Chains A and B, each alone.
Chain A
Amino acid sequence: MANQSEAPLDIQAEEQRLQTLVKTIMQEADKQGATACEVGASLSAGLSVNVRKGEVETVEFSCDQGVGITVYQGLRKGSASTSDTSPEAVAATVKAASDIARYASEDPHAGLADKSLMATDLPDLDLYHPWGLDAEQAIELALECEQAGLTSDKRIENSDGASISSHQSARVYGNSNGFIGSGHATRHSASCVLIGRSGEEMQRDYWYDVARDPMRLSSMKEIGRKAGERTVKRLDSRKLDTGQLPVIFSAELAGGVISHFLAAISGGSLYRQSSFLLDHLGKQVFPDWVHIHEQPRLVGGLGSAAFDDDGLATRDKDFVKDGMLTSYILSTYSARKLGMESTANAGGVHNLFIEPGEQNLQQLLKTMDKGLLVTELMGHGINIVTGDYSRGAAGFWVENGEIQYPVSEVTIAGNLKDMFMSLQAVGNDVDRRGNVQSGSLLVDSMMIAGN
């Protein structure tokens, strides 16, 4: 193995370069007659390695950059993007955006956010912790991770590999209302996918960790072992009989369930009348003990950002307080469409939490007594317009408050509105690996289809 890695990237210099580029593009747009414009530029570079059965499978070096330009001609808008940042390409891209703006219709709600709303304080959120890992070191870690998984149980007979990836990125956003903001960040992850066998049955499962700071990643051994443990637990699975039963969504899946709620209260879904939570502001949408809030400026947070995609300062806020919907998720544009104020959520939420309860997973199983613990979901059966929810599931049958056996090839179905209103408990076993964080969720009753 040649000991070669990419030349270390000076991310601060790159961020400076992108800042200059964004300013140049705004000048170019002005020169080409735009009445307003906004420009986003980003760069991401890093390394991913994958090993499988003790051998290197892939070593990938990545480096992506892109520039996106939105040009306004009065109330008309056009966008263009390019990966080429040469002056000629940039000029051509501004022209392409301007050409589109010429043909687009006037949209009374189009345009930048008001000057007075632009973020002015942009604190350092401590998101940049480079690993300084070369390919060979990354391979060693991946091998250690996979090895721990492969040897964790004799029923683990195959592997889909272990991966390490480490990336750094810089982004700049500027607009002609005088805002320019930038930041740089790192993201490191380790994962392991294993395959177990029992007789004719093969099952796979995985585990991973992700962090801004590599020092905060779980140990490779722990990730590998956990992948192994999860895989063998799924072997000898059975189907269930069809019936109405309580369901626990494990913490790893709970953030996904909460994200359907977020989709339903997002401005885009609301102004398109494509949400099961239209006109629910100020109404009860969860039991009164549920609180959901956002902390966008969390130091070191996986989803942290000091400004949103419109250049507005992000701020802490409640979306659900005492079970009531207290805020939608709005950008400048969707807020105007709805006759409201932006919630500084252009581009989505940043670090969203559902307040954890008192019980750990074991205690939640006791509370449920009898039902299905879901640890995997499959398919796309989520309808945000109606709230209809019907997905493939796998997990564990629970009786007398304890896991009895693994379950596969069943579906669970219900309506998201009912599922949220009939939430019984949120666990304290919060999965910290995502932008939307939740403990396990116990739902009163869902239709399980099996035999």
Chain B
Amino acid sequence: MSDNSLAIARAQLLAPGELTDSSLQKVLNNVLGHSVDAADLYFQSTRHEAWVLEDGIVKEGSFNVDKGVGVRAMSGEKAGFSYSNEIILPALNAAAGAARSITRLGGDQQVQAWQREQPLTLYSDANPLDVLTQDEKVELLRKVDLHARAKDPRIKQVTASISGVHEVVLVAASDGTLAADVRPLVRMNVSVIAEQNGRLERGGHGGGGRTDYRMFLQDDQALKYADEAVRQALINLEAVPAPAGIMPVVLGAGWNGVLLHEAVGHGLEGDFNRKGSSSYAGRIGERVASPLCTVVDDGTLAGCRGSLNMDDEGVPSQCTTLIENGILKGYMQDKLNARLTGGISTGNGRRESYSHLPMPRMTNTYMLAGASDPDEIIASVDKGIYVTNMGGGQVDITSGKFVFNASEAWLIEKGKKIAPVKGATLIGNGPDVMNRISMVGNDLKLDTGVGVCGKDGQSVPVGVGQPTLKIDEITVGGTSE
């Protein structure tokens, strides 16, 4: 953690309630007075704003402040949890009392002395909301609106939004962790509706990251999102129904990495594997993908949406190899699951907020580049689908079945993109599909910074990425035979 982050966190989170490092120690010792293996406190404040343009006017803006502390006590596989949105000693003690109620009195552990780790600095601790004035934010959205409408007369509706979050986190744990992180996060989205001969279609694009609003001004990035949204909507106007059945599929680079997130990522989260509920459980060292596949989860990419200087348990982010040349190498762990399975945390303990329990979650999950030229990959397909953009995905980690929905896809015939198709859903089984990857491109790309991952009702920002790749066969769910 950076000392600056810790200073900011103490000032913002602890000082107003007259709390000090040593009062945190006392609260933790109090929790450990029960037969508790470990305990942690998670202080958080978030300031979130959003501006929305619709019908050519910036009709809405919102600002949200949330602040609170979560207290967790762990004993074996048990976790007791309580939280408060008042950060003062009596509230903290009450929450601690509730959290430790999972165990009886009589523990003899003491909090370890505070330990410091060398900080990562993947992003700035400055407030990302303040770099533009309100007028400049409104003006940016107006420019995007005018730009999109001027692109093509068929554009009937434009919705554009920007949002920013400034989050300050402090973690104090019985293992001696005392760490803080100040996290910026911004996002922009452009969505358009195009109309042609009574037919309506939507297109959308956006981006963001752990940086500030200036990223949308650089190289006219915001206008490029609008260009892409318009392009997609116009293509969708021409799209024909997708075919149905088993066929080869080429997935373009970037955001299609949702495939890895669903087909591989969730199944390799430590909690599912400890419980034996994942189809990947107990398979370390086995072949789970074609030898062309190396997949990592990397929280250390500067400025990326899924990156973190430290996870929500105060563990520095790292790059964890999940699959190497097709062989399963490791799982993503938080402290609880690592402790219960004799491993160590991989810095993947994340939570939506102070009012949620942490669990193993992904950061930025992607496949490393291979050797093939992307054009050659498309040229190798006689009849199939080329997915250039995705909607979203979902997985059942127990059966391994996953789906994802293409938002832009093309029919390939005799090695050529011939027509856009709509409504293509892909469904498969994680390990089966990963074993059928027969070509991997040399064009690794990360997504533009819009991913949100949901698990057990908790949402966290994530990144995905991949090079262009070819799956020899997978079920495509369209409407045309």
A329 interface residue per 8 A CB criterion: no
The stretch of B5-13, B241-249, B369-377 that contacts the partner chain:
B241-249
* Chain A, 400-450, CB within 8 A of any chain B CB: 408-415, 447-450
B481 interface residue per 8 A CB criterion: yes
> What is the predominant secondary structure among interface residues of chain A facing chain B?
strand
A112 interface residue per 8 A CB criterion: no
Select which of B394, B396, B399 is within 8 A of A201 by beta carbon: B399
CB distance B477 to A273 under 8 Å? no
CB distance B57 to A100 under 8 Å? no
Which residues of the partner chain A approach B58 to less than 8 Å between Cβ atoms? 103-105
CB distance A83 to B85 under 8 Å? yes
Mark each residue of chain B from 392 to 411: 1 if its CB lies under 8 Å from any CB of chain A, else 0.
11101011011111000000
Q: Classify chain B: how many residues form its interface, as a range.
A: 35 or more
Query: In the complex, how many angstroms separate the beta carbon of A142 from the nearest chain B beta carbon?
Result: 13
Select which of B79, B85, B157, B245 is within 8 A of A273 by beta carbon: B157
If the complex has contacts A57-B77, A60-B357, A385-B193, are A106 and B57 also in contact, measured as CB distance less than 8 A? Answer: yes
Select which of A96, A104, A385 is within 8 A of B59 by beta carbon: A104
Query: In the complex, how many angstroms separate the beta carbon of B165 from the nearest chain A beta carbon?
Result: 14
B20 interface residue per 8 A CB criterion: no
If the complex has contacts A83-B85, A84-B65, A273-B156, are A411 and B244 also in contact, measured as CB distance less than 8 A? Answer: yes
Mark each residue of chain B from 34 to 74: 1 if its CB lies under 8 Å from any CB of chain A, else 0.
10000000000000000000100111111111111000000
Name which residue of chain A comes closest to B424, CB basis: A390
Which residues of the partner chain A approach B99 to less than 8 Å between Cβ atoms? 61
Query: In the complex, how many angstroms separate the beta carbon of B159 from the nearest chain A beta carbon?
Result: 7
Name which residue of chain B comes closest to A97, CB basis: B63
* Chain A, 258-299, CB within 8 A of any chain B CB: 272-274, 276, 278
A383 interface residue per 8 A CB criterion: yes
CB distance B62 to A83 under 8 Å? no
CB distance B202 to A379 under 8 Å? no
B221 interface residue per 8 A CB criterion: no
If the complex has contacts A103-B134, A379-B405, A411-B244, are A195 and B101 also in contact, measured as CB distance less than 8 A? Answer: no
CB distance B478 to A379 under 8 Å? no
CB distance B60 to A79 under 8 Å? yes
CB distance B479 to A390 under 8 Å? yes
If the complex has contacts A60-B81, A386-B422, A390-B477, are A202 and B399 also in contact, measured as CB distance less than 8 A? Answer: yes
Which residues of the partner chain B approach A278 to less than 8 Å between Cβ atoms? 200
Which residues of the partner chain A approach B481 to less than 8 Å between Cβ atoms? 242-244, 447
CB distance A385 to B403 under 8 Å? no
CB distance B102 to A56 under 8 Å? yes
Docked complex Cα distance between A97 and B405 (Å): 38
A121 interface residue per 8 A CB criterion: no
B355 interface residue per 8 A CB criterion: yes
Docked complex Cα distance between A299 and B24 (Å): 47
Name which residue of chain B comes closest to A102, CB basis: B134
Query: In the complex, how many angstroms separate the beta carbon of B423 from the nearest chain A beta carbon?
Result: 4
Query: In the complex, how many angstroms separate the beta carbon of B98 from the nearest chain A beta carbon?
Result: 5
A28 interface residue per 8 A CB criterion: no
If the complex has contacts A99-B134, A413-B478, are A380 and B59 also in contact, measured as CB distance less than 8 A? Answer: no
Select which of A64, A101, A103, A274 is within 8 A of B138 by beta carbon: A103
B126 interface residue per 8 A CB criterion: no
CB distance A378 to B394 under 8 Å? yes
Which residues of the partner chain A approach B200 to less than 8 Å between Cβ atoms? 273-274, 276, 278, 385-386
Query: In the complex, how many angstroms separate the beta carbon of A252 from the nearest chain B beta carbon?
Result: 16
Name which residue of chain A comes closest to B407, CB basis: A383
B207 interface residue per 8 A CB criterion: no
Select which of A64, A201, A242 is within 8 A of B244 by beta carbon: A242
Docked complex Cα distance between A68 and B122 (Å): 33
CB distance A450 to B403 under 8 Å? no
Name which residue of chain A comes closest to B246, CB basis: A451
Name which residue of chain A comes closest to B195, CB basis: A273
Select which of A4, A64, A386, A410 is within 8 A of B427 by beta carbon: A410
Query: In the complex, how many angstroms separate the beta carbon of B17 from the nearest chain A beta carbon?
Result: 12
A59 interface residue per 8 A CB criterion: yes
A177 interface residue per 8 A CB criterion: no
Name which residue of chain B comes closest to A448, CB basis: B244
A326 interface residue per 8 A CB criterion: no
CB distance B394 to A380 under 8 Å? yes
A204 interface residue per 8 A CB criterion: yes
Mark each residue of chain B from 65 to 93: 1 if its CB lies under 8 Å from any CB of chain A, else 0.
11110000000111111111110000000
* Chain B, 379-436, CB within 8 A of any chain A CB: 391-394, 396, 398-399, 401-405, 422-425, 427-429
CB distance A81 to B59 under 8 Å? no
A392 interface residue per 8 A CB criterion: yes
Which residues of the partner chain A approach B104 to less than 8 Å between Cβ atoms? 1-2
Which residues of the partner chain A approach B80 to less than 8 Å between Cβ atoms? 58-60
Docked complex Cα distance between A213 and B402 (Å): 37
Docked complex Cα distance between A101 and B429 (Å): 50
A225 interface residue per 8 A CB criterion: no
Mark each residue of chain B from 110 to 126: 1 if its CB lies under 8 Å from any CB of chain A, else 0.
00000000000000000
CB distance A58 to B357 under 8 Å? yes
Question: Among the interface residues A57, A89, A410, A447, which one has the most CB atoms of the partner chain B within 10 A?
Answer: A447
Docked complex Cα distance between A57 and B157 (Å): 49
Docked complex Cα distance between A451 and B427 (Å): 11
Name which residue of chain B comes closest to A81, CB basis: B64
* Chain B, 118-140, CB within 8 A of any chain A CB: 134-135, 137-138
A311 interface residue per 8 A CB criterion: no
Which residues of the partner chain A approach B246 to less than 8 Å between Cβ atoms? 242, 451
B294 interface residue per 8 A CB criterion: no
CB distance B394 to A392 under 8 Å? yes
Query: In the complex, how many angstroms separate the beta carbon of A389 from the nearest chain B beta carbon?
Result: 8
The stretch of B272-280, B297-305, B320-328 that contacts the partner chain:
B272-280
B15 interface residue per 8 A CB criterion: no
Name which residue of chain B comes closest to A77, CB basis: B60
Query: In the complex, how many angstroms separate the beta carbon of B307 from the nearest chain A beta carbon?
Result: 25
Docked complex Cα distance between A52 and B392 (Å): 30
CB distance A379 to B65 under 8 Å? no
- 21 cross-chain CB contacts under 8 A: A2-B101, A58-B357, A61-B98, A63-B85, A78-B63, A84-B86, A103-B135, A110-B59, A158-B277, A202-B398, A202-B399, A242-B481, A274-B157, A385-B201, A390-B477, A392-B427, A409-B427, A411-B403, A411-B475, A449-B245, A451-B245
Which 8 residue pairs of A and B lie closest in terms of their CB atoms, listed nearest first? A411-B477, A392-B403, A379-B403, A105-B57, A100-B61, A449-B244, A4-B101, A204-B398
Please list the residues of chain B having a beta carbon within 8 angstroms of any beta carbon in chain A.
Answer: 34, 54, 57-68, 76-86, 95, 97-105, 134-135, 137-138, 156-157, 159, 193, 195, 199-202, 242, 244-246, 275-277, 279, 355, 357, 391-394, 396, 398-399, 401-405, 422-425, 427-429, 475-481
10 additional contacts (CB under 8 A) given A93-B65, A204-B398: A58-B81, A63-B84, A100-B61, A103-B61, A242-B245, A379-B393, A379-B403, A388-B422, A409-B428, A451-B246
